[in-house]
Chains A and B, each alone.
Chain A
Amino acid sequence: MDPHLLEQLNGERRARRAAVLVTDLSDGAARLIREGETVSGPLGEVVARAFRTGNSGLTEAEEGSFFINAHLPQPRLMLIGAVHISQALAPMARVAGYPVEIVDPRTAFATEDRFPDVLLDPRWPEEVLAERPLDAYTALAAVTHDPKIDDFAVKAALDSGCFYVGALGSRKTHAARVDRLKNIGATADQLDRIAAPIGLDIGAANPAEIAVAVLAQVIAAFRARSNAAKAGEKTA
């Protein structure tokens, strides 16, 4: 393996960007494909599938035998708001394979006592996201009900291409939010991506049930991201 290639691969992995390493097993020659780059020929489909599914494996092509190693970042869920819903959602999401971080500047809410075993940051989203930016492998759910805390995070999630952006509030609350987000530069396409009212419509009647509805919606969005890529390949 070429040491420079390893450095480049590690660079992508450190930056939480997906990359696929294709190794020719006849001679060990390898190439790195970054997310968004395409590969021509039959190998192209295999590489696209690796980006979609995150699965690695051997593949036989006319040119020989190749090992396709998919390096996908760990998907995660960022919750804006250390509220009752978050108390139920954090452990559920972790079990489902989505590690959680909770951001809430209201220190009365963001206490270790209320959130044992959860990454908790009691600062404003502005500060936290400057330090740890959002990305395409992050889902963001804003659940404080407070525009001063939620709005910036929602806009940042839309700008970063988070695979899921959800915001708590009634249709009326959301209409007002849409107006505010427009004023800070959100486009119509971006606004359409916000899941609001938040969560799948399962008639959730309490915080724990809302948490289930949100988690199901996050999972659906992550898997739909796969389906969208699949549909794109077919039409391309």
Chain B
Amino acid sequence: MQDITHLDEARDPLLIAERWRHDGKAVAVATVVETWGSAPRPTGSHLVIDADGNFHGSVSGGCVEGAVISEAAEVIETGQPRMLEFGVADETAWRVGLSCGGRIRVYVERLG
């Protein structure tokens, strides 16, 4: 029986980000800061990404993670945080979108 009242060291994105940093990796943290309509992951959800494109956590049900990961590479390089916005594919400039019809804003920042 798994104890869900304590953090899952193997899967919790923020714990993984801390560990990656200790291992000397460059890390970006993406956070869902706003949602409209039926968004798959709640505000405050995290996706963490390293410079090699490894990632843990999620900001959507898998719909926009690819785009966030490629943006994260640039955030890691420049150190400049970015605000990304995703909606249904047709309505935005993004090639990817949320099939559920919702919209989300994701803040991507470098760790350190």
User: Is this pair of chains taken from one and the same complex?
Assistant: yes
Q: A-side interface residues toward B, CB under 8 Å?
A: 1-3, 6-7, 9-10, 13-14, 16, 23, 25, 27-28, 55-58, 67, 69-70, 73-74, 76, 99, 101, 117-120
A55 cross-chain contacts in B, Cβ below 8 A: 43
Minimum Cβ distance to chain B for residue A141 (Å): 16
Q: How far is the CA of A58 from the CA of B44 in the complex (A)?
A: 10
* A10-B15, A57-B43, A70-B44 known; A76-B5 Cβ under 8 A: yes
- In the assembled complex, the Cα of A1 lies from the Cα of B15 at a distance in Å of 14
Residues of B within 8 A of A10 (CB): 14-15, 18
A-B contact count (CB 8 A): 65
CB distance from B2 to the nearest CB of A (A): 8
Q: Is the CB of A3 within 8 A of B44?
A: no
Whether, in the assembled complex, B33 has its beta carbon less than 8 Å from a beta carbon of chain A, the answer is: yes
Does B67 have its Cβ within 8 Å of any Cβ on chain A? no
Determine if A58 and B14 form an interchain contact, defined as CB atoms under 8 angstroms apart.
Answer: no
Other contacts beyond A6-B18, A76-B5: 7, CB < 8 A: A3-B18, A14-B7, A16-B5, A16-B6, A70-B44, A101-B5, A119-B1
Interface residues of B (CB under 8 A from A): 1, 3-7, 14-15, 17-18, 21, 29, 31, 33-34, 42-44, 81, 83, 107, 109-112
With known contacts A28-B81, A57-B43, A6–B34 Cβ distance under 8 A? no
18 A-B residue pairs with CB within 8 Å: A1-B29, A1-B111, A3-B18, A9-B14, A10-B15, A14-B6, A16-B5, A16-B6, A25-B107, A28-B109, A55-B43, A56-B42, A57-B33, A58-B33, A58-B34, A117-B1, A118-B1, A120-B1
Q: Are the C-beta atoms of B43 and A6 separated by less than 8 Å?
A: no
Chain B's closest residue to A14 (CB) is B7
Q: Which of B7, B14, B31, B44 contacts A6 (CB 8 A)?
A: B14
Check B18 against A7 for contact (C-beta < 8 Å): yes
CB contact under 8 A between A6 and B107, given known A28-B81, A58-B33, A119-B3: no
* Chain A, Cβ-Cβ closest to B110: A1
Give Cα A57 to B83, complex, Å.
14
Q: Cβ of A67: which chain B residues have Cβ within 8 Å of it?
A: 31, 33, 107
Complex: A23 Cα to B105 Cα, angstroms: 15
Chain B residue contacts of A74, Cβ below 8 A = 4-5
- Complex Cα distance A57/B42, Å? 10
User: CB-CB < 8 A to B21: which residues of A?
Assistant: 3, 6
In the complex, A190 Cα to B42 Cα: how many Å? Answer: 37
Which partner residue on chain B sits nearest A77 by CB separation? B5
Separation of A9 and B112 alpha carbons in the complex (Å): 15
A13 lies within 8 A of B109 (CB): no
CA distance A178 to B21 in the complex (A): 52
The 9 nearest A-B residue pairs measured at CB: A56-B44, A76-B5, A28-B81, A3-B112, A56-B43, A67-B33, A74-B5, A119-B1, A69-B44
Residues of B within 8 A of A57 (CB): 33-34, 43
Bound CA–CA A190/B37 (angstroms): 45
